[in-house]
Chains A and B, each alone.
Chain A
């Protein structure tokens, strides 16, 4: 009951924030396929929401856990066991709150021609090769995650 109330408030409050809409392109090297998704993000002080409306899928990143919703089904995931999602939420939050230093514990940061390059430390470097992003004022021009298996994800914020 308590969890439902918390979720209710968070989702209701999110209505007062301005959601960030984006397009996601994902290349899968094994299948040589590219997938396209659309979604929106809402950033709160203590949490972050990620929604893929067409897929009827959402993630709520709270302080203690990740709550995944797929249709009517709801799952609580731990940060420890879902390193990919953990990194993704940290990335989004630090980029939008302009706090790249938050990423220093996971990455070595470099900046070249307005593009920020993140070189992952262990153990992330086992799966992520590099991450690069460019922000134009508040707008995220792109965020590209290159994986070691030659997959990549590119996220572009809608203007």
Chain B
């Protein structure tokens, strides 16, 4: 008697013990740390993805712009005070816009290699006129006239200064707006936590208003991530409410409710723990998706519960096992696709579903739950029913039609939060700084000299582009330029200049440094480039640097093989194209496995089972008449398929009864709690999941009411 009582107590608390054990493990291994809200975590592993992360390490991507409206003394004092406060924040420093002395020295030394000669200036050169004009300028200057002693005759083209930066009262200004400050963020800052710290520190000092504007590209990371988290929390709250309502109104079994919640939480924690061991980072979408998939496991509990497996001694429930094994099998086959996002989702789903199934099928009958009657009756069959064959034909026609309309939106950025406020602030700064719409690219080469050569090639093709490294002369170009300089009559010009200068009153040897240039090839190392304040990073056996190229010339510049495209959209499309054969192969394999399992499980009733698969699929695909499909729509269709398989197998079972309908109805409600509620999300990614789930649920409900099923319908319950 005592042993029986102890065993009952253990059974009752084993669920809680497992949950506590998993909580300890998840915190011990800090599994939550691996969750990332960054979109690039959706991309498969590739060199480009690594390069995108490398690009984020460049200093140029980490600037903070601050502007105070107005050009009066108040505005100047305000911005100066803000500067003083903000530089107290660790890792934040004020950009001085002081020219880098090492770079200035380099530019001066290699000026004749960097700049070209103006057209026909040598041929039409009149040294007397030039000297006369120079003398006049010196004598009539208001302050002091700076003579260009290297090129006093103005033979070279001049370096164009960026016209976007202006100063007033010794301070940087935004044209037509007010004073501007630019801050640098320490390049070591990489994590979201560090970005959040900076973001919060800045916003405690600056409460953004019409007069003060502040922007940084890192704000997108922080704000978007918070918006996603806020939305996800709301959805989880709403989902929990729906689930609670489901239990309180329908099941009315508190013990079962608590145990189910514990099982689901444990399954999510275990899945998170194990997938975080396999993958360095887990996309937040995988977590949200995974949590939703885990709630599908409630089906297993419902079927066992309504068929009295928890209050009576019953044989093994074959249908639930077959449904589970079919879903797991489908995820297992899909997990072979070499795309981290799919792999993460599949592993998460397999672990959570299997864990929940084991508990619902084997632990719960041991714990034992009394079945309580509820006041809600199951769905009534309509007096009009449709034979399965008609539903299948209709579905196949609709699927075929949908495919003719189907468009795929591969732009991952469309899945992200539409942070309009921050986008407006960014547009404001771009407008006032008259920045052209440029997009970042990475230049990759096997040596520093080759990297410089690529940068210069690009600069020649796109003169307006911002390519910092193109200021340098590369190893190959140097001898060519040197021989071109030797072929110009510079020595004779210099001799004449020195002779004539004395006649115009210039002091002796005043032009001694004119038209001289170094003959030695410049040597570059990472150290020297760092001194010149030029961003070059070693990457594996290569070197990389960045450039900003005009977006409207995208087609032209991507023709250069050494350029690495950093566009998420392009990367995603490329990876999908690369995976196309794999997706088709594993997709077909999964479908074949499902068909085999359905026929194997349902035998003569397989048409009913197929109805539950093709009809929801056709309804969901008909969305293509209204919108483009994105990657999450497609993933959700796979999930819907696995849920439909479960329903198909249950509803085509020989021993179907009122309880089977009840179980499917409960499952539908719980699926809505898991996935359907996402339809209320403001984030396109989550909405995409929600809309598919909701349509799927509607389709299955339709089948429950209208699908003709000879054996059960005859009972007319």
Contact of A153 among B98, B144, B147, B169 (CB under 8 A): B144
Q: 1/0 contact trace for B62-94 toward A, CB 8 Å?
A: 000000000100000000000000000000000
Residue A105, interface by CB 8 Å? yes
B107 contacts A by Cβ under 8 Å: no
Is the beta-carbon distance between A84 and B143 smaller than 8 angstroms?
yes
Known: A29-B507, A122-B96, A123-B99. A106 touches B170 (CB 8 A): yes
Q: Are B135 and A31 in contact (CB under 8 A)?
A: yes
Cα separation A15 to B147 with both chains bound (whole Å): 39
**Interface: A88 (CB within 8 A):** yes
Is A109 engaged at the interface, CB distance under 8 Å to the other chain? no
Chain B residue at minimal CB-CB distance from A77:
B142
Docked-complex contact A80 and B98, CB < 8 angstroms: no
A68 vs B146: C-alpha distance in the bound complex, in angstroms?
21
* Interface assignment of A40: CB less than 8 Å from any CB of chain B: no
Query: Is B144 within 8 A of A149, CB to CB?
Result: yes
Indicate whether A85 sits within 8 Å of B142 (C-beta atoms), given known contacts A30-B506, A80-B168, A122-B99: yes
Q: Is the CB of B166 within 8 A of A80?
A: yes
Closest-by-CB residue of A relative to B508 is: A32
A75 to chain B, nearest CB (A): 12
Question: Nearest residue in A to B134 (C-beta to C-beta)?
Answer: A30
- Assess whether B143 is in contact with A85, with CB atoms less than 8 Å apart: yes
Known contacts A29-B507, A30-B507, A122-B98, A80 near B143 by CB under 8 Å: no
A29-B507, A31-B138 as given contacts; A88 in contact with B143, CB under 8 Å: yes
A22 within 8 A of B: no
Interface residues of B in 131-146 (CB under 8 A from A): 135, 138-139, 142-144, 146
- A149 and B146 contacting across the interface, CB-CB below 8 Å: yes
A62 is an interface residue with CB less than 8 A from chain B: no
A31 touches B507 (CB 8 A): yes
Chain A residues with CB under 8 Å of B505's CB are 31-33
Chain A residues, CB < 8 A from B177: none
> Which of the residues A33, A122, A127 comes within 8 Å of B144, measured between beta carbons?
A127
Residues in B neighbouring A106, C-beta threshold 8 A: 170
A17 touches B (CB below 8 Å): no
B167 adjacent to chain A (CB < 8 Å)? yes
Give chain B nearest CB distance to A78 CB in angstroms: 9
Q: Does B318 contact A (CB under 8 A)?
A: no
Report yes or no: A32 in contact with B99, Cβ–Cβ below 8 A: no
Bound-complex Cα distance A105 to B287 (A): 53
With CB as the reference atom, state the residue of chain A lying closest to B511.
Answer: A30
- Against A, the Cβ 8 Å flags (1 = close, 0 = not) of B154-185 are 00000000000011111100000000000000
Q: Are B168 and A79 in contact (CB under 8 A)?
A: yes
State the Cβ distance, A27 to closest chain B Cβ, in Å. 10
Q: Which single residue of chain B is at the shortest CB-CB distance from A105?
A: B170
| Contact indicator A28/B138 (Cβ below 8 Å) | yes
A-facing mask of B90-118, CB < 8 A → 1, else 0?
Answer: 00000010110000000000000000000
Q: Is the Cβ of A84 less than 8 Å from the Cβ of B142?
A: yes
Interface secondary structure of B, over-half rule: loop
Say whether A30 contacts B510, CB under 8 Å.
yes
Whether the Cβ atoms of A151 and B144 lie closer than 8 Å is yes
What are the residues of chain B within 8 A of A153 when measuring CB–CB? 143-144
Mask of B347-360 contacts with A, CB within 8 angstroms, 1/0: 00000000000000
Q: With the chains together, A112 CA to B192 CA distance in Å?
A: 52
Closest to B143 in A: A84
Are B98 and A123 in contact, CB atoms less than 8 angstroms apart?
yes
Q: Which residues of B contact A32 (CB under 8 A)?
A: 505, 507
Q: Give every chain B residue within 8 A of A105 (Cβ-Cβ).
A: 169-171
A35 lies within 8 A of chain B by Cβ: yes
Q: Is the CB of A84 within 8 A of B144?
A: yes
Distance to closest chain A CB from B127 (angstroms): 16
Q: Once the chains are docked, how many angstroms separate the CA of A88 from the CA of B141?
A: 13
Q: Is A147 an interface residue (CB 8 A)?
A: yes
Residues of B within 8 A of A149 (CB): 144, 146-147
**Inside 8 A of B144's CB, which chain A residues have their CB?**
84, 127, 145, 147, 149, 151, 153
Restricting to A25-68, which residues have a CB under 8 Å from any CB of B? Answer: 28-33, 35, 59, 64
Chain A contacts with B in 119-159, Cβ cutoff 8 A: 122-123, 127, 145, 147, 149, 151, 153
CA–CA, A105 to B171, complex, Å? 9
C-alpha spacing A85/B141, complex, angstroms: 11
Complex contacts, A35 vs chain B, CB 8 Å: 139
Query: A155 vs B168: C-alpha distance in the bound complex, in angstroms?
Result: 26
List A contacts of B98 (CB < 8 A): 122-123
| Cβ distance A59 to chain B, nearest Cβ, rounded Å | 8
A59 cross-chain contacts in B, Cβ below 8 A: 142
Across the interface, A30 reaches (CB within 8 A) one of B147, B167, B170, B171, namely B147
Which A residues are in CB contact (< 8 Å) with B146? 127, 149
A147 to B146 Cα, complex, angstroms:
9
Cα-based distance from A32 to B146 in the complex (angstroms): 15
Which residues in chain B, 280-339, are within 8 Å of chain A measured between CB atoms? none
Min C-beta distance of B96 to chain A, whole Å: 7
- Per-residue A-contact encoding for B502-531, CB less than 8 Å = 1, 0 else: 000111001000000000000000000000
- Most chain A beta-carbon neighbours within 10 Å: one of B96, B142, B507: B142
Smallest CB gap from B147: residue in A: A30
Best-surrounded residue of B143, B505, B506 (most CB of chain A within 10 A): B143
B143 near A31: Cβ-Cβ < 8 Å: no
Known A28-B139, A30-B138, A85-B143: A80·B506 in contact at CB below 8 Å: no
Question: Given the complex of chains A and B, what is the CA–CA distance between A29 and B138 in angstroms?
Answer: 10
Give the residues in chain B near A84, CB-CB below 8 Å: 142-144
| Cβ contacts under 8 Å, A147 to chain B | 144
* Chain B residues with CB below 8 A from A79, complex form: 168-169
Scan residues 57-100 of chain A and give those whose CB is less than 8 A from a CB of chain B: 59, 64, 79-80, 82, 84-85, 87-88
Write the nearest CB–CB distance from A132 to chain B, whole angstroms.
16
Give bound CA distance, A147 to B141, whole Å: 13
**Alpha-carbon gap, A125 to B169, bound state (A):** 16
Contact residues in A for B169 (Cβ distance below 8 Å): 79, 105
The CA-CA distance from A64 to B506 in the complex, in Å, is 38
A87: which B residues are within 8 A, CB to CB? 143
> How far apart sit A124 and B566, CA to CA, in the bound complex (Å)?
40
Cα distance, A35 to B167, chains bound together (Å): 31
- What distance in Å separates the Cβ of A60 from its nearest Cβ neighbour in chain B? 14
A5 to B139, CA, bound (A): 33
Q: How far is the CA of A60 from the CA of B135 in the complex (A)?
A: 26
B99: A residues at CB distance < 8 A: 122-123
Q: Write out the residue numbers on chain A whose beta carbons fall within 8 Å of the beta carbon of B167.
A: 80
Closest Cβ of chain A: how far from B131's Cβ, in Å? 11
A153 to B510, CA, bound (A): 20
Give Cα A80 to B164, complex, Å.
12
CA distance A12 to B627 in the complex (A): 72
CA distance A38 to B525 in the complex (A): 55
Which residues of A sit under 8 angstroms from B507, Cβ to Cβ? 29-32
Bound CA span A88–B510, Å = 27
Inside 8 A of B168's CB, which chain A residues have their CB? Answer: 79-80
**In the bound complex, what is the Cα–Cα distance between A33 and B136 (angstroms)?**
13
Query: Can you name the residue of chain B whose Cβ is closest to the Cβ of A124?
Result: B170
CA of A59 to CA of B96, assembled, Å? 30
Cα distance A32–B501 when bound, in Å? 13
**Chain A: which residue is nearest B171 at the CB level?**
A105
Listed from nearest, the 5 A-B pairs whose CB atoms lie closest are A84-B143, A122-B98, A105-B170, A147-B144, A151-B144
Q: Show 28 A/B contacts (Cβ-Cβ < 8 Å), sorted by A.
A: A28-B138, A30-B138, A30-B507, A30-B510, A31-B135, A31-B138, A31-B139, A32-B505, A33-B505, A64-B71, A79-B169, A80-B166, A80-B167, A80-B168, A82-B142, A84-B142, A84-B143, A84-B144, A87-B143, A105-B171, A106-B170, A122-B98, A122-B99, A123-B99, A127-B144, A149-B147, A153-B143, A153-B144
Q: Apart from A30-B147, A79-B169, A105-B171, list 9 A-B contacts with CB within 8 A.
A: A29-B507, A31-B505, A31-B507, A32-B505, A35-B139, A82-B142, A84-B142, A122-B99, A123-B98
